[in-house]
A and B are shown apart, each in its own frame.
Chain A
Amino acid sequence: SAVISQKPSRDICQRGTSLTIQCQVDSQVTMMFWYRQQPGQSLTLIATANQGSEATYESGFVIDKFPISRPNLTFSTLTVSNLSPEDSSIYLCSSKSGRNSGTQYFGPGTRLLVL
């Protein structure tokens, strides 16, 4: 299975600021995904990060609020901009394994608290 790391693991931010989360995969992958998991809730897909093209955002999520970069096949960043307390959540990245293209593995998550 792919080994996925995220930085930071947690952060506390002031409202109005931004946080950039990094996701690193130990092998080249075509697709990386960013999810949000609000406290006690399920996982909601924010966007699909495609290498060499713009990210594809799900309904309710916009590029101005959640800009994504995908500079190469092993790395992606998600920025959560203009933070408000409602952005307090866990943000997880995932990628599809190269051996079995259907299997998605998750990073450990970034726990964000906005004051």
Chain B
Amino acid sequence: GENVEQHPSTLSVQEGDSAVIKCTYSDSASNYFPWYKQELGKRPQLIIDIRSNVGEKKDQRIAVTLNKTAKHFSLHITETQPEDSAVYFCAASKNTDKLIFGTGTRLQVFP
């Protein structure tokens, strides 16, 4: 079955810097890749997603890139702010079915 690896497990950046989180997946049939943000004690919230027919998607300060050949995708956050501090999870799915999650990245943005 699908396996998703996520790195790094923790990431600390200065406010205003960029943050990059990387994930790799094992099943080449996976074609949907969402990213979720989870604040302490809250539910996971979808922040951006990408399908396998595009290589990049951007939404304001957040972007996701996908390399199907290498089977990896990345989340890029620019101009980080303290409110970006949270745990971020990547996930992979075949035909937008069940999601297999990565292990999570705890992002801390220091003012």
Interface of A toward B, CB cutoff 8 Å = 31, 33, 41-45, 48, 58-59, 92, 94, 96, 101-109
Contact = CB atoms under 8 A, between A and B. Distances in A.
B43 A107 contact: yes
A37 B20 CA distance: 24
Interface in B23-49: 32, 34, 42-46, 49
Nearest to A4: B43
Contact of A43 (B1, B44, B96): B44
Contacts, number: 47
Interface of B: 1, 32, 34, 42-46, 49, 51, 89, 93, 96-104
Contact of B34 (A31, A48, A59, A103): A103
The 6 closest A-B pairs by CB, nearest first: A102-B96, A106-B43, A43-B101, A42-B101, A102-B32, A42-B104
B43 A92 contact: yes
Nearest to A93: B43
Contact of B44 (A44, A59, A103, A106): A106
A46 to B, nearest CB: 10
Contacts of A103: 34, 46, 49
Contacts of A31: 97
Contacts of B103: 41-42
Given A44-B101, A101-B96, A104-B46, 6 more contacts: A31-B97, A33-B98, A42-B104, A94-B99, A103-B34, A104-B34
